[in-house]
Every structure is written in C-alpha cells, then in structure tokens.
Amino acid sequence: MTMTLYYNPQSRASVARWMLEEVGADYALQHIDIAKGESREPAFLAINPMGKIPTLVLDDGTVLTENGAIIAWLADAYPQAGLMPPPGSSARGTVLRWLFFCGSCFEPALTDRMMRAQAPLPKQTVGWGDYDEVIDAIEKALSPGPFVLGDSFSAADVYLGASLAWAGQFGAPRIRESRCIQDYVERITARDAFVRAAKGQ
C-alpha cells in the first residue's frame, strides 16, 4: 500500500516519517511549507481541517492525524515489524500508555515550560501536572532500560525518543542534563530507520 505523509522536516511530522521507515512502509512525502502558510490553504484544510501535520493519507483515502494514532495504526498494519505487542497484553497497554503520554502530557508540559516559564499554568488546572513531574515519570520509565519495554524496542520508543531528542535540541530543561534520557536518546537516534528518516532534514 502506498501512503502520503504531509510533512515538514522541522515539525512533529518527522516522528511519523521515522515510524514509516521503522515498519518499511511504501510512502510518498508531500512537503508542507508552514512558513508560507501552506498548512492553512483550502486544499490542505480539505484533507485536515485542523491544518496540522503530520497528516497521513492511506491508499484508500482514509486520513490519519496525530502522531500517536498514526504510530499505533502503522504498528498494527505492519505486525512483521514487531513494534506493537498483542491485543490484551500488558505490554501493549504500556506501549499505548506512552503513545498517549507523549501527546497529552509531555508536549503540553514542554510547551508550558518553554513558552510560559515565568507564568506556568496552575498545576491543578492542567492534565499533566507540571513539567518536572512529567520528566520524573519519563526517567522512572526509562531507568531500567534500554527501552520503554525493557529489552524490546516498540512503537512507544519512536514517539518518546523523537520527542526527547527534539526537546533536547531546543534546550528544554532537564533533557540534556539527564544521563538516563541522554543515553536513551543516543540509542534511539542510532537506529537505521531514524537515520533514514532524518536524511535531508
């Protein structure tokens, strides 16, 4: 099956591209120039009314958005890649937990810390607690290592690893200072699929 990933290398869409490489999918890239406003043009809004990337269009026209959903779907659609444990298993629950955690806890907490450092949102009003609690949870999950599921690389590592690597590049607090996180990021970014996805970025 051939899919089209609406993509910009300087965006979260690079996470979905990495996952496409991990599973060995046949896909095409459609570059979206965010700076020129292409994500807000009618043609793209007809595909994704939110005007966001990544947006993955399957060969039957189905549109998938949100990294967690794209990664979970690809892991299920390409079981031979071995990135998603079987339905009903506790390991699958762990993978899903971290797929959701990235978009619902890590990214909002990171944005709050980086954009609102002087006036963070009150802890009791947000669903992620606070940035330091989020980083503590990540360090606890990664400390047994080498991956979220211990010895098994999974779909969760694609999203979490890419998110942590990206956050470190932008100077997010506690990312580069954490030996546990840095060791994890180094393992993740050394993967062949990550390197292939990063080419040309």
How high is the pLDDT of residue 185?
98
How high is the pLDDT of residue 63?
98
Indicate whether 28 and 102 sit together in one domain: no
Under-70 pLDDT residues of the chain: 1, 117, 120-121, 123-126, 200-201
Q: Per-residue DSSP letters for 77-114? A: H-GGG--SPPTT-HHHHHHHHHHHHIIIIIHHHHHHHH
Residue 171 φ/ψ region, left for φ over 0, alpha for ψ in the -120 to 50 degree band, beta for the rest: left
Among 82, 109, 128, the domain boundary falls at 82
How high is the pLDDT of residue 21?
97
Indicate whether 11 and 99 sit together in one domain: no
CATH number at residue 180: 1.20.1050.10
C-alpha closest to that of 107 among 150, 179, 162, 69: 162
How high is the pLDDT of residue 125?
67
Indicate whether 34 and 107 sit together in one domain: no
Range of the domain at 8: 2-82
SS3 (DSSP) at 141:
helix
Say how many domains are in the chain: 2
CATH number at residue 77: 3.40.30.10
Q: Is 17 contained in some domain?
A: yes
Say whether pTM exceeds 0.75: yes
Indicate whether 103 and 184 sit together in one domain: yes
Q: How far apart are CA 100 and CA 94, in angstroms?
A: 10
CB within 8 Å of 72: residues ≥ 6 apart: 84, 96, 99, 155
Question: Cα 61 to the chain's mean position, in Å?
Answer: 23
Which tens digit of pLDDT belongs to each residue from 17-41?
Answer: 999 999 999 999 999 999 999 999 9
